[in-house]
A and B are shown apart, each in its own frame.
Chain A
Amino acid sequence: MDNKNKTTILNLTKEEFVHPGNRACSGCGLSLVYRTALKALGKDTILVVPPSCLTVMQGLHPIASTKLPCVNVTFASTGAAATGVRAAMKALKKENVNVVAWAGDGGTGDIGIQALSGACERGEDIIYICYDNEAYMNTGVQRSGTTPQGVLTTTTPIKGKLQEKKDVPSIIDAHGIGYVATASAAYPLDLYDKVKKATTMSGPRYIHVHTPCPPGWSFDARFTIKIGKLAVQSGLFDLYEIIDGTFNLTGQSKKLIGKDKIPVLDYFKTQGRFKSLDEQIVKKVQDQVNAKWAQY
């Protein structure tokens, strides 16, 4: 996106689609992501949400925190449910509606991957937003497929997770869909522009958002943005777009090309969840990051 077209805090719409005083934890990365993305999606949007922190944030019957129509669906069926909403919109000749699936990392990359894969393969006209807080936070911080290696969770309580993080956006990209992007809660305007761009396209569009979680990652609620930025500035989580198969780094990640980056250890040190990491894993991750960036 050209610099002149980038959204800034000065021209970001003031319209809100999320009521204040909702049930998000203080410092919640998701609440930032949700508020920002909904601004970009606008009024003519239908949301599909499986169980996740968002289900709780949405509020308890009969009060809702979102000013958009939303259907809560079963954990594994998000991609299918979004398909169903789009099919209904086609049947009812209501074409100008954004159908947006919104799920966590477990709901996307673990239990929800079959329905999402099916929707991508069929070329469904939906936007799928995954907020990745790297574990099952809503149920109390259990490991998920996208939990990074070495992280302490309630189901990896002593040694940390033994396996590496599942690369969900790459799996989705392998379906050959037109738009795959990553974003971060720490760079909300970059996220806004990506969601906005997605609304101008058709077919399956997938946005994977790195979303710090104070209680789950064990850090003070005031550091959400700082930690989200460190993940990007250390080169660990990259902001990019893949448009019709062409990969480009964007925003802050693009600025890091050819520059020295913050050591990943500086990111790890900010969070209690990494406290059992040994030097060996830290070195391995740093080597992986260096090798990845050598290719950019």
Chain B
Amino acid sequence: MHIIESGNVAAATGVKLSRAQVIAAYPITPQTPLTEKLSEFVEGGELDAQYIPVESEHSAMGVCIAASTAGTRAFTATSANGLLYMNEQLHWAVGARLPIVMCVANRGIGAPWTVWNDQQDTIAQRDVGWIQIYCNDHQQIIDSVIKAFRLAQSVSIPVMVCYDGYLLSHTYMPFDQPEQSKVDTFLPKFAPTHFLNPDDPANFNTVTLPDVRPGLDGKMAPGYIEIRHNLQEDLRASLDVYEEIDTAFAKDFGRGGNPFVEQYKCEDADFVAVCIGSLSYQLRDVIDIMRDNGVKIGVMGVQMYRPFPNQAIIAALDGKKCAIVFEKALSYGNQGALYADIKSALYNSKDKPLVHNYILGLGGREIKTRHLLDALNESCTAPETFGDSPRWIGLKL
């Protein structure tokens, strides 16, 4: 069924269709309408879940961690400083290998206060070990939430579904709402082998020594470093798992097929604009203008940022003349984080393109077509002279 709704409602509907059992959330702009909608679903009896209106984001993730450890499907959502306030809990959730799903409506972070969109909040969490999926439109939001629950419980790793605050969270778009019965088939019930169970007691997340240690049965139990190594291996393996899930979703629902990167007019392109989130759709218009002027250019949206899809990046950019990375975040003191990751991936490619970096849109600064056009023309005109430092777009110094 096609409906016209906001991105936040698309996310909430995905959570409802996924039959989340425990939802805990604390209000923060621009995530708020998502949690309002979920509380409405629960109070109105449309979703059989426990909704916990917690007193902080730290507690929201605390509730999810415990509820997930007890064997239920748990969900929360946040933005910006709320996400940062959870930081310790994000590490805990992934260390405990809990299949929690969280939506993040991307927003810039203070100080100074800003409520508008950029992506510094989730990009700053890239090293915690959560899987990060980014959406370009409302259809991708609702679909990604459903896929995220299946991915999370397939690999026992939590998943963040990220979408641009306001630009997606508060705008209205038509999208298809999948049928409940089809989602129920696609997403099996969460049935963990280990959970908090008085009939089979176990102590979760105990103090773990630097070295391996025998249990009472004489078998060696892993030390901390083995546990963390397993996480890294499983994160890398989750790329293949997500590809399978995306394929299965495409088969059932007729959408998908681009789990890692979404390319537009890239096949014959010499130049490829690269970015994360809704900007990639805005860039399509700019690319069309440039194509009209004879520049062979395309755009690629990165859909999965962690684990980083190195092979998909290489496959998309190897042999191109130049990749132009636009970012609404940066690794302060160095460069754009995506830019650094792209360069790192391309180090292993045969025919490396040049890579450029632009920083733009921080704190919701409007991104105008003219700015994008100027930047791309600049990059395409003399790509060899750009240098390795990010350039900023739209600054009024």
Contact = CB atoms under 8 A, between A and B. Distances in A.
Q: Do A and B interact with each other, yes or no? A: yes
Interface string A114-139: 11011001100000000000000000
A257 B83 CA distance: 52
B62 A115 contact: yes
A38 to B, nearest CB: 11
A61 to B, nearest CB: 4
Contacts of B69: 71, 84-85
Nearest to B56: A114
A66 interface: yes
Interface string A53-70: 001101111111011111
B196 A69 contact: yes
Contacts of B65: 71, 73, 77, 81, 84
Given A63-B215, A84-B74, A55 B207 contact: yes
A88 B67 contact: yes
Interface residues of B, number: 46
A66 to B, nearest CB: 6
A164 to B, nearest CB: 27
A77 to B, nearest CB: 3
Contacts of B64: 84
B72 A91 contact: yes
A87 interface: yes
Given A46-B196, A73-B92, A97-B198, A84 B63 contact: yes
- Chief secondary structure at chain B's binding surface: mixed
A292 interface: no
Contacts of B207: 55-56, 58-61
Interface string A40-56: 00011110100000011
A65 to B, nearest CB: 8
A20 to B, nearest CB: 14
Most buried by A among B56, B58, B62, B209: B62
A72 B203 contact: yes
Given A60-B207, A62-B213, A72-B206, A83 B71 contact: no
Interface in B60-102: 60-72, 74, 88-89, 92
A69 B52 contact: no
B72 A64 contact: no
Given A43-B198, A61-B208, A121 B63 contact: no
B56 A73 contact: no
Nearest to B219: A62
B66 A118 contact: no
A118 B59 contact: yes
Given A62-B215, A83-B63, A83-B66, A118 B205 contact: no
B192 to A, nearest CB: 11
A118 B24 CA distance: 12
A80 interface: yes
A79 interface: yes
Interface string A84-111: 1101111110000100000000000000
Contacts of A91: 21-22, 49-50, 67, 72
A74 interface: yes
B201 interface: yes
A255 B71 CA distance: 47
B208 A84 contact: no
B221 interface: yes
A118 B55 contact: yes
Most buried by A among B65, B89, B196, B207: B196
B201 A80 contact: no
B48 to A, nearest CB: 8
Given A71-B196, A115-B56, A118-B55, A88 B66 contact: yes
B378 to A, nearest CB: 47
Interface string B232-261: 000000000000000000000000000000
Contacts of A70: 196, 201-204
Contacts of B88: 74, 76
A66 B66 contact: no
A118 B216 CA distance: 40
A70 B21 CA distance: 21
Contact of B22 (A43, A73, A77, A88): A88
Contact of A87 (B52, B198, B213): B52
A88 B203 contact: no
Nearest to B92: A74
A186 interface: no
Given A74-B92, A88-B22, A60 B55 contact: no
A183 interface: no
A37 interface: no
B53 interface: yes
B58 A45 contact: no
Contact of A84 (B24, B58, B200, B202): B24
B59 A80 contact: yes
A30 interface: no
A81 B68 CA distance: 10
A15 to B, nearest CB: 14
A46 B66 CA distance: 11
A82 interface: yes
Contacts of B49: 91
B201 A68 contact: yes
A270 B198 CA distance: 41
Nearest to A42: B198
Contact of B72 (A48, A55, A92): A92
Contact of B59 (A66, A72, A79, A97): A79
B54 interface: yes
Given A73-B92, A77-B89, A89 B204 contact: no
Given A74-B88, A80-B66, A84-B24, 7 more contacts: A69-B204, A81-B65, A83-B59, A83-B63, A83-B66, A88-B72, A92-B70
Interface of B: 21-22, 24, 49-50, 52-56, 58-72, 74, 88-89, 92, 196-198, 200-209, 213, 215-216, 221
- Which 3 pairs, one residue from A and one from B, show the smallest C-beta to C-beta distance? A84-B66, A80-B62, A118-B55
